[in-house]
Copies of this chain bind each other. A is one copy, B any other.
Amino acid sequence: MTDQESCGAALGRFIADFPADGFSPSLWHEGRRSLLNFFGGALGVAQDPAVQTALRVMAPFSGPERATVIGRAERLDAMGASFVNCIAANLLDFDDTHLETVIHPTAAVAPPLLALAELRGFSGAAVLEAFLIGAEVECRIGVSVSPGHYARGWHITSTCGVFGAAAGCARLLGLDPAQSATALGIAASQSAGLVENLPSAAKNVGMGNAARNGLLAALFAEAGYGAAPAAIEGKLGWARAMGDAPDIARITGGLGEQWEIARNTYKPYPAGIVFHAVIDACLDLRDGLGEVKEILVEGDQLLLDRGDRVLRNERDARVSIHHCAAVALLRGRAGVEDFSLAALQDPQLAALRGKVRARLDASLARGAARVTVVAPDGARRVAEVRDPRGSEARPMSDAELEKKFVQNGGTPAQARAAWGLDRCASVAAVMQAFAAQP
């Protein structure tokens, strides 16, 4: 960012001009991992009522040129496919996480790129480039307003997702730097989504719009619409309206050199990220587990605030200390089916949940947990986890990601298709592998 340059202009230059051969092999591979994880997540919920409803509502409003809806036989135009695939990818919050912002980066960015590429014939490599550029812009804008933005009530995956989708689509469409900056400016007037709505399906609509509206922003910029030069950082612009003390310099500092999206992480369990250490500690304690009198879970205030709760539905289960601990101890796993209504009603699990007690230990780091299992004779076994599986310090391996993909219902052939996307001239052929037969 030069002295005279606005933040939008610097991002526009990055989007349009970052060289196609400028991505390091490890960054490129992280993009492939993000997309594999994305496809698996969307496949896993393709039959979920929330996805069915979204498809049913959008179908009448779909133009003739249609793209793949992941895991479905129905097809929608690029707007509709972006909307529904984004909802699916993020439905269970089982997708990827940029930990500093808690943005799930891929859900809003990948769908419009895949739809555009499928319809207009862009290559898989062009999609992966555009994905890395878009997700980077998304995370950097998120960093600039964190943590105040989320704390104020903004669902950051939606509010920043629209920027990522706009940036990625601008790159894929080959917009010039000024048009790319404009796409971000138009995205700024479409950024929305509330934390209050997270326990409801209204969250899905905000997510779907982030993907759809990012594509719309790029198309309007391509067609000649303008935007304010300081739409993001201006006095009456996005960052100040939606945040309390934005740090704009973080959007552009080291742009193209340090990559936020290189820090992307993937969840081994479909539970809130702060519960992963609880699950890992319980899995560690499972070997040789005898009769249990009490399970003591200790963590910081955030863990207690989010996780010490009454269980009413699956969403509660995914953010319940008691359920996460009980399911890991009893079943030795914590997959999608272990947070279903059926699992909630499993009497053995209910009995074990009743033995879990949560307690504050403010000395524990955020995201860490200590679990103590007390036997009837008073014997205690303790496990403490600071870096859970899937965290930046202990990333999921490619093999683990592939196992998660298959557990989500993906086939080995689909995994190969996802891994091969960046070497594929025809994205349409790859997407074919993710469509259900009519």
Chain A residues close to B by CB (< 8 Å) = 49-50, 53-54, 56-57, 59-65, 77-80, 152-155, 158, 182, 185-186, 188-206, 209, 213, 216-217, 219-220, 223-228, 230-231, 234-238, 240-242
Contacts and interface: CB of A to CB of B under 8 A. Distances in A.
A196 B234 contact: yes
- List the 4 closest pairs (A to B, CB-CB), nearest first: A153-B241, A189-B206, A202-B227, A196-B237
Give this chain's copy count: 2
A241 B205 CA distance: 18
Nearest to A238: B194
Contacts of A231: 194, 196-197, 200, 202
A238 B78 contact: no
A282 to B, nearest CB: 30
A204 B224 CA distance: 13
Residue of A56, A158, A195 with most partner-chain B CB within 10 A: A195
A237 to B, nearest CB: 4
Residue of A80, A155, A197 with most partner-chain B CB within 10 A: A197
A336 to B, nearest CB: 21
A284 to B, nearest CB: 34
A201 to B, nearest CB: 4
B228 A200 contact: yes
Contacts of A63: 59-63
A80 B197 CA distance: 26
Given A63-B63, A153-B237, A209-B213, A202 B185 contact: yes
A236 B195 contact: yes
Contacts of A53: 220, 223-225
Contacts of A61: 61-63, 77-80
Contacts of A57: 216, 219-220, 223
B194 A205 contact: no
Contacts of A200: 185, 225-228, 231
Nearest to A53: B223
B186 A205 contact: yes
Contacts of A241: 152-154, 194-195, 242
